[in-house]
Each structure stands twice: as structure tokens, then as C-alpha cells.
Amino acid sequence: MAPTLAAFCVGFIWPFLHGLYLSFCQFTTVDNAKWVGLGNYAKAFADTSFIDSFYFTVAFVIVAATIINVTAFAIALALTKELKGTNIFRTVFFMPNLIGGIVLGYIWQTLFNAVLMKLGQPLLALNTQAGYWGLIILLCWQQIGYMMIIYVAGLQNISPDLMEAAAIDGANHWQTLLKVKLPMVMPSITICLFLTITNAFKLFDQNLSLTAGEPAHTTEMMALNIYYTFYARAGAAWKGIGQAKAVIFFLLVVIIGLTQLRATRSKEVQQ
């Protein structure tokens, strides 16, 4: 009990509060902080690379979350029907989820660069378009299996009575899907959307290893932008600005996560 609390304070609460405080300061280490008020926030919003990374992240999250959830749901639907080899498919689809972000990034970097070379296109380090789609494909590869597992569990929870009732009422395939299955797995949809959106928003490792923001910071997502602001920019002001960006980033994640939860929760049916 006590060690957990102590560690939780050192590992989370203290850094969090301290970080919040430092976002209003100019500093290079934690000891030489000087209060500057909202200056860091003003500079953070004035930093075009940060705003660009915001748009890039949003474009990424919307497309990635949609593809992942639709595909995962479709696969889950197919796998809950009587198919031979379902277990093997499940095993295979889930596997990439266990591989770390850095490793994934380099696996796909090699693959994409080889494909781009075959096509005579510029390589990843010089190709924003490829970087964007590369990140999306990578994240899909990693997360579809995970979300599929959640959807499968949700689909298997639907009571057979309900399906039978629908069949007796003469519902066709599509009607059953839209009017029975979809509302019944709404809790799973809530979870999956929440996980994909927040994870995609916070994506860092994959971004760092696949493109590292190249070319010229055009494939940089917010987390990476903050990291670079802290550790790759010279000048005393940047650490404070980085911390201010981090606070903005944190608020964004919380707001988006909560809005999404509220929006999909309201569509869940009472069981």
C-alpha cells in the first residue's frame, strides 16, 4: 500500500502537477524555473509546426480509427460465423499487437521503402504522402486484431434468442445486422473507438521509428512534436513551450476521449 502510493506520487502525481506548474515558466532544468505566465501558451499556439502537427494528427486519427473499426468489425462478423480455422485466424490477426512500436516502425520502413523503390517513388524520408499512409497502414496492422477480439466477444454475447426472434420476424441478413447486432454490440464499439482514438492520438513510437517526422516535419504528430520541442531545439525558451504544448495536448486527449465516450454511450441500449 504505502510503496504503491509513494511510487504513484513520484511517478505520476508529482510530475503531473510539477509539469502543470512548469508550463507557466521558462526553464532548462527543473531547478531554474522562472514564472512567465501565459507566455509559453501564446508561443505554443504561434508555433506553426505545432499547429501543423495538430492537423496531421487529426487527419490521421479520423482515417485510422474509421478503417480499423470497420475492418475489425467486418472480420469479427465473419469469424463468428462457423468457419474452419477461426482460431488460427484470430491468433494471426492479434499477433502484431504484441510487437513494440519501435520494432513495428522499422519493419514497415524496410517494407515501404522497398515498395516505393519498385514503384520509382521517393522513399519515406522524402515522401509526405507515403509517410501518412504508411503510418495508417502500420497502425491498422497493429490494432485491427485487438479490436477484432473485442468485437468478437461482443458479438458472442448476443443472446441466440434475440437472433432467433429476428429470424422468425422475417428479418433478412442486413436487417439483422443493422437492427439487432449493431445496437447490441454498441458497448464494444464505445470501447474500441475510445481505444483507437486515444491510442492514435497519442501515437509516438511508431511515428518516431517509421518517419521521424521526415520530410521536414510534415509527418510529425503531436506527441513527436512535443518531444522534439523538448529535446531537439536549442534555446532556453523551448522547454517551457514544450511543457505548455504537453498541457494542451493532454487537455485535447481528455476532451476528445470524453466527448466520444458520451456520444457513443448515449446510443447504447439497456440490456
Considering the complex, state which of residue 43 and residue 202 has its C-beta at the smaller distance from another protein.
202
Residue 47, C-beta contacts closer than 8 angstroms, at least 6 positions apart = 229, 241, 245
| Shortest spacing between CB 249 and another protein, in angstroms | 6
What is each CA distance from 133 to 62, 115, 126, 193, in whole angstroms? 13, 13, 14, 20
**236 scored as a contact of another protein (CB under 8 A):** no
**259 scored as a contact of another protein (CB under 8 A):** no
Q: How many CA atoms lie within 13 A of 135 on its CB side?
A: 34
3-state secondary structure of 5: helix
Cell numbers for 191:
470501447
Among 42, 46, 70, 78, binds another protein (CB under 8 A): 78
Asked whether the bond before 215 is cis by omega within 30 degrees of 0, the reply is yes
**113 scored as a contact of another protein (CB under 8 A):** yes
Contact 142, 97 (CB under 8 A): yes
Contact 229, 210 (CB under 8 A): no
DSSP state of 25: E
**100 scored as a contact of another protein (CB under 8 A):** yes
| Shortest spacing between CB 175 and another protein, in angstroms | 18
Among 70, 254, 263, 271, binds another protein (CB under 8 A): 254
3-state secondary structure of 26: strand
Which region among 10-18, 37-45, 54-62, 172-180 touches another protein (by CB under 8 A)?
A: 10-18
Build a one-symbol-per-residue string for 143-182: x at contacts with another protein by CB under 8 A, - elsewhere: ---x--xx--x-----------------------------
**183 scored as a contact of another protein (CB under 8 A):** no
**24 scored as a contact of another protein (CB under 8 A):** no
Considering the complex, state which of residue 6 and residue 165 has its C-beta at the smaller distance from another protein.
6
